[in-house]
Amino acid sequence: MPNTIAIIQARMSSKRFPGKVLKDLLGKPVLEHLIENVKKIKNLNSIFLAIPIDKINDKIEIEAKKHGVIIYRGSEIDVRSRFVDIIKETKADHILRFTADKPFFDPKIHENALKILRNNKFDYVTNNIPETYPHGFDTEAFTSSAFFDSLKLGDQKNNIEHVTPNLRSSEKYKRANLFTKFEDFKEYRFTIDYEEDYLFLKKFLKIYFCKFNLIEWKNVYKILRENPELFAINKKYQNLKRSASNDKMAKQFLLDLNE
């Protein structure tokens, strides 16, 4: 089996919603929810939390250590360099990338991304080229060989911050995209960029966990259909796109988790 790791990038100094990764969400910090969900993904060899060295991020390290993840601290600005260092140190073959503001997702989406990456020899697998799942249910799986090769390509500033744009935009890489036929709710936001996003997720989770214990897309879909009023909470940010205009179309794989 390939050496597969998860890397969660996080920081306290978000410009739009500072400290969001440690905000309380149903009695637990956002970061704890995320780590718990990443741990449910099968066939991961290790989980890393990649945070900046600045002292303000000490609180994140203290929280993360409670949950048994490996801490790596590096550049605040050059986020990609944190990934480079971790992947080199671990000699990882396959990587799942997470951002700490997306704590709520179906682990099966990530498991299927890894399965397609491994079995079909793809370089990069996602589920938002084009977008059919809600923002926050995104996955990114890629090989270390493609990642290191992408470091040689242009647009370095954007890649330093967002890590994988070269993998998404260059046709030299073999890319795959997971999609769902049930894309009614692709405009919903389960990411926490703004306070309204946090309020939406807080409200949604209260409803969801009254009925279900495990996070599954088919049940998320059910709750969204039954509670259309939730859309209004962070509606003004619904048109913010995840994919860039230069993202190249990927080979499409139907992932039907509604059955």
The answer to whether residue 19 sits within a structural domain is yes
The answer to whether residue 94 sits within a structural domain is yes
The answer to whether residue 98 sits within a structural domain is yes
The answer to whether residue 43 sits within a structural domain is yes
The answer to whether residue 259 sits within a structural domain is no
The answer to whether residue 174 sits within a structural domain is yes
Mean pLDDT, rounded, for 13-27: 93
Is residue 8 within 8 Å of residue 57, measured between CB atoms?
A: no
Domain limits for position 142: 4-254
The answer to whether residue 215 sits within a structural domain is yes
Confidence band, pLDDT 50/70/90 cuts, at residue 246:
low
SS (H, E, C) the chain: CCCEEEEEECCCCCCCCCCHHHCEECCEEHHHHHHHHHHCCCCCCEEEEEEECCHHHHHHHHHHHCCCCEEEEECCCCHHHHHHHHHHHHCCCEEEEEECCCCCCCHHHHHHHHHHHHHCCCCEEECECCECCCECCCCEEEEHHHHHHHCCCCCHHHHHHHCCHHHHHCCCCCEEEEECCCCCCCCCECCCCCHHHHHHHHHHHHHHCCCCCCCCHHHHHHHHHHCHHHHHCCHHHCCCCCCCCCCCCCEEEECCCCC
CATH code of the domain covering residue 118? 3.90.550.10
Mean pLDDT, rounded, for 136-159: 91
Q: Indicate the pTM of the whole model.
A: 0.95
Given a cut of 90, whether residue 181 has pLDDT beyond it is no
46-72 residue pLDDT tens:
999 999 999 999 999 999 999 999 999
pLDDT score, position 207: 98
The answer to whether residue 201 sits within a structural domain is yes
Per the structure, how many domains does the chain have?
A: 1
The torsion of the CA quartet 220, 224, 230, 236, rounded to 10 degrees, works out to 90
76-132 residue pLDDT tens:
999 999 999 999 999 999 999 999 999 999 999 999 999 999 999 999 999 999 899
Given a cut of 90, whether residue 256 has pLDDT beyond it is no
Confidence band, pLDDT 50/70/90 cuts, at residue 224:
very high
Given a cut of 80, whether residue 259 has pLDDT beyond it is no
pLDDT score, position 155: 65
